[in-house]
Homo-oligomer: A and B are copies of this chain.
Amino acid sequence: MKPTILISNDDGISADGILALASEIKKFADIIVIAPHTQQSAVGHSITMSDPIRARKVYHGKKFFGYAVEGTPADSVKLAVHTLLKNKKIDLLISGINQGANTAINIIYSGTVSAATEGTILGLPSFAISLTSYTEKNFKPAAKFAAKLAKIILKKGLQKGVLLNVNVPAIPENKIKGALVTKQGKSSWDDTFEKRIDPANREYFWLTGSMYKIDESKEYDVKAVDEGYISVTPIHYDLTDFEFFEKMKNWKL
């Protein structure tokens, strides 16, 4: 029997990355696509509590493709698992393929990762996958790796509370050196806000900035992709810092 794989993302149900992923995964699995109706990048792990959520069926020609959810990536996954697919057995969730890297600090801002995190919270083996370029449109190598990894996870399983965060370098497939298990990098952003004046003479700000890279070993996600490897990072959502927990025991609170 074919496995059933839930596909979501944060770039929206019409994004090139999710279409490429769906094409590749449906070769060996029954797929269900449930994703935000519009681009939701950098929403982090948002959920919608104060507003209603709607879901709309999306067709490609006459063929049912999936559900577009008026909400965040985490909303989409919650609604999928609890309501739209309530009595359906889902074997795996894949979120992506994101247009742009989700490495290092970007992980915590990422809607793509949050969809996979929500899947994990709900008990589904889950991974997020991103192509490390905002412009490259060849998602094929990433889609093929997603299929390969999906098959491995379907066989081996994942640990409760752990998901995988995959980043595929945006280089020609024959230049990719392989895949490495990595750690979340320590690289971060030099944020700046560009100050502008609107036509009514009021100031406003745009967030801009560039990433500064401090990770020097390919044991870290950022450096692994820079060196031409696919990066696979096991992550979790238990945020406790156990080391500082021990240190704080002698604090007088």
Residues of chain A having any CB pair with chain B under 8 Å: 39, 41-50, 52-55, 74-75, 78-79, 82-83, 105, 107-109, 114, 117, 121, 148-149, 152, 156, 158-159, 161-162, 178-181, 183-184, 186, 188, 191-193, 195-196, 198, 202-207, 230, 232-245, 247-249, 251-253
Q: Which residues does chain B contribute within 8 Å of A180, judged by CB atoms?
A: 253
Contacts beyond the supplied A75-B207, A83-B193: 12 A-B pairs with Cβ under 8 Å: A52-B206, A53-B205, A108-B117, A108-B239, A148-B253, A149-B253, A180-B253, A181-B245, A181-B251, A230-B253, A234-B244, A235-B240
- In whole angstroms, how far apart are the Cα atoms of A156 and B247 in the complex? 11
Q: Is the CB of A205 within 8 A of B83?
A: yes
Interface of A is mostly: mixed
Q: Which residues does chain B contribute within 8 Å of A114, judged by CB atoms?
A: 44
Number of copies: 2
Q: Which residues does chain B contribute within 8 Å of A205, judged by CB atoms?
A: 52-55, 79, 83
- What are 8 A-B residue pairs whose CB atoms fall within 8 Å in the complex? A45-B45, A45-B108, A52-B198, A54-B205, A83-B195, A159-B247, A230-B253, A235-B240
User: Closest Cβ of chain B: how far from A67's Cβ, in Å?
Assistant: 12
Q: Which residues does chain B contribute within 8 Å of A45, judged by CB atoms?
A: 44-45, 108-109
Q: Is the CB of B241 within 8 A of A234?
A: yes
Q: Is the CB of A41 within 8 A of B52?
A: no
Q: Determine the residue in chain B with the shortest Cβ distance to A81.
A: B191
Q: Which residues does chain B contribute within 8 Å of A54, judged by CB atoms?
A: 202-205
User: Closest Cβ of chain B: how far from A189's Cβ, in Å?
Assistant: 8
Q: Which residues does chain B contribute within 8 Å of A75, judged by CB atoms?
A: 207
Indicate the member of A78, A247, A253 with the most B CB atoms within 10 Å: A253
- In whole angstroms, how far apart are the Cα atoms of A207 and B181 in the complex? 36
Q: Is the CB of B183 within 8 A of A253?
A: no
Q: Is the CB of A239 within 8 A of B245?
A: no
Q: Which residues does chain B contribute within 8 Å of A181, judged by CB atoms?
A: 245, 248-249, 251, 253
